[in-house]
Amino acid sequence: MRLAMGIEYDGSRYHGWQIQEEGVDSVQNQLEQAISKVANHPVSVQCAGRTDTGVHATGQVIHFDSESVRTERNWLLGTNVNLPFDINVTWVKPVSDDFHARFSALDRSYRYVILNRKSRSAIWRDRAVWVHHDLDVERMAEAAKHLVGTHDFSSYRALGCQAKSPVRTVSQLDVTQEKDRIIIEISANAFLHHMVRNIAGVLIAIGKGEQSTDWSREVLEYRDRTLGGVTAPPQGLFLVQVGYPEEYELPENPPF
């Protein structure tokens, strides 16, 4: 039987999603240990999107296979009992064998949170990036428009990115303000390594007035990461939603 799970986690204490060498903790490692205890056999999980060190998720999706007979409630409660406080299963659902958390996904959505005020925050320190310079949200939103659509995002991916193609389709890229927080919302069919953080870095520089609103387009046209500005820090980034075909009837993740 194949099961899908919705996962949320605070990535502050983990070296990203993927299992690392012995002694280095990851979200995947914790989940596989917890689910294996409930299944009474070793379990390997696949995720929709591998997040980096310090990156969070409210809408991660995983799948795994098990012949152990458990109710959905028992899978959920049993797994959560065996997880640390900063990782949580939000839902469980049996799926067909052709479902794959990564390859069945139609799109993914991320949120990048910027705390824009003069003083730092004790509460938001690991869940937002603090920028004390005044940011012009309207300039950031205008610059973001250049990146919507299907483009070669070579300038916006990590130098070590191993994706075969740098072409991605961004369906949404909005910049809004909620009191002292600036929110970047982005959805795409898939993302390159560091793509969201590199986009955030460019938009922050434009918001500071260091570059023109056309700079985001110019960086895109360079197709050269070395000309693409600073990579924004990881702690403001959240994977908030993964979209799948309706046939799988997966639950919606809790709002964030």
The predicted model scores a pTM of 0.95
Cα-based distances in Å from 3 to 62, 120, 207? 8, 42, 43
Confidence at 242, pLDDT banded by 50, 70, 90: very high
Please report the pLDDT score of residue 228 as a whole number. 86
Please report the pLDDT score of residue 16 as a whole number. 93
* 52 catalytically annotated: yes
Please report the pLDDT score of residue 98 as a whole number. 97
Amino acid symbol at 8 = E
Q: Go through the domains of the chain in sequence order and give each one's CATH number.
A: 2-104 (3.30.70.580), 109-239 (3.30.70.660)
Is there a binding annotation on residue 248? no
Please report the pLDDT score of residue 21 as a whole number. 75
* pLDDT over 80 at 254, yes or no: no
Average pLDDT of the residues in 106-125: 96
CA atoms within 13 A on the CB side of 184: 34
Average pLDDT of the residues in 102-128: 96
Confidence at 246, pLDDT banded by 50, 70, 90: very high
Please report the pLDDT score of residue 165 as a whole number. 95
Please report the pLDDT score of residue 252 as a whole number. 81
Please report the pLDDT score of residue 1 as a whole number. 95
pLDDT over 70 percentage in the chain: 99
Task: State the catalytic residue, choosing from 52, 86, 107, 152.
Answer: 52
* pLDDT over 80 at 23, yes or no: no
Confidence at 22, pLDDT banded by 50, 70, 90: confident
Quickly list DSSP for the chain.
-EEEEEEEE-GGGSS-SS--STT---HHHHHHHHHHHHHTS----EES-PPPTT-EEEEEEEEEE------HHHHHHHHHHTS-TTEEEEEEEEE-TT--TTTT--EEEEEEEEEESSS--SSSTTTSEEE-S---HHHHHHHHGGG-EEEE-GGGS-TT---S--EEEEEEEEEEEETTEEEEEEEES---TTHHHHHHHHHHHHHTTSS-TTHHHHHHHHT-GGGS-PPPPGGGEEEEEEE--GGG-PPPPPP-
